[in-house]
Chains A and B, each alone.
Chain A
Amino acid sequence: DQQVKQNSPSLSVQEGRISILNCDYTNSMFDYFLWYKKYPAEGPTFLISISSIKDKNEDGRFTVFLNKSAKHLSLHIVPSQPGDSAVYFCAASRSNDYKLSFGAGTTVTVRA
């Protein structure tokens, strides 16, 4: 069963604008959430994470928001740059085993 869902397979955004990627999860035992970025022919690269005890984490142009009651998180990229064009995966983990459950990914295309 898919415990982490990314319902938007693709997103197109103009350079300089904000990209918002969404992710929903079903397992209330998840206590850590991560975003990974993936370029073709490469493995996923860790981008940013958030613990379930927080509702926001910011790192430069990237901010992740967590709404535990809605079991929803989002990644904001502002401003979007051409190098941000990639597939973004949302992942979730529990502190008893740390294995990651991934969503299906969202392909972001930043237009010049």
Chain B
Amino acid sequence: DTGVSQNPRHKITKRGQNVTFRCDPISEHNRLYWYRQTLGQGPEFLTYFQNEAQLEKSRLLSDRFSAERPKGSFSTLEIQRTEQGDSAMYLCASSSMAGLLYEQYFGPGTRLTVT
């Protein structure tokens, strides 16, 4: 079990550009969550998937954000027309319906800097 992985670990982009992040959950974990963390704050929920179905999106997730989880395996989070306020750590977590759904396992995160 290799844990949750996220790529890239760091991304610097200019305002207005599009970026895409990838998350590979623990194998056979059917729930996948995206969170965003800014300096001095705890992670904030963005969206989650059960298998390939996106079940909920936070109101924090503007129309510029889109997430997918094709085939219920890895997930991507895309931000279009990035703004400086999008600068944050984007965290992915997964959990298993065969285990304790409450206990989510996090990846190392992708740090986005928008200049």
**Which residues of A pack against B, CB within 8 Å?**
4, 6, 32, 34, 36, 41-46, 49, 89, 91, 93, 95, 97-105
B2 contacts the other chain (CB 8 A) = no
Q: In B45-67, which residues have CB < 8 Å from any A CB?
A: 45, 48, 55-56
Tell which of B12-20, B35-43, B79-87 binds the partner: B35-43
- Known A34-B103, A49-B102; contact A97-B42, beta-carbon cutoff 8 A: no
- The answer to whether B95 has its CB under 8 Å from any CB of chain A is yes
CA distance A86 to B95 in the complex (A): 23
Chain B residues with CB under 8 Å of A36's CB are 106
Q: Decide: B104 and A46 in contact? CB cutoff 8 A.
A: yes
Within the assembled complex, what's the spacing in Å between the Cα atoms of A89 and B98?
25
Give Cα A41–Cα B93 distance, bound, in whole angstroms. Answer: 16
Bound-state CA distance A4–B45 (Å) is 13
Q: Out of A41, A98, A103, name the residue touching B42 (CB < 8 Å).
A: A103
Interface presence of B25 (CB below 8 A): no
From 98 to 112 in chain B, residues with beta carbon under 8 angstroms from any chain A beta carbon are: 100-109
- Which of chain A's residues has its CB closest to B43's CB? A102
Judge whether A44 and B48 touch: CB under 8 Å.
Answer: no
Residue among B43, B102, B104, B105 with the highest chain A CB neighbour number at 10 A: B102
Q: Are B108 and A93 in contact (CB under 8 A)?
A: no
Most A Cβ at <10 Å: residue of B31, B35, B43, B109: B43
Determine the residue in chain A with the shortest Cβ distance to B107. A43
Whose C-beta in chain A lies nearest to the C-beta of B95? Answer: A98
* 10 closest residue pairs by CB, A with B: A102-B42, A43-B106, A32-B102, A98-B101, A99-B45, A44-B106, A43-B108, A102-B43, A93-B102, A89-B42
Complex contacts, A91 vs chain B, CB 8 Å: 42
| Interchain CB contact under 8 A, A104 and B91 | no
> CB < 8 Å: which of A4, A43, A46, A99 contacts B48?
A99
Q: Is the CB–CB distance between B55 and A97 below 8 Å?
A: yes
Knowing A46-B103, A98-B95 touch, does A41 contact B108 (C-beta < 8 A)? yes
How many whole Å from A17's CB to the nearest CB in chain B? 26
User: Is the C-beta of B21 less than 8 angstroms from some C-beta in chain A?
Assistant: no
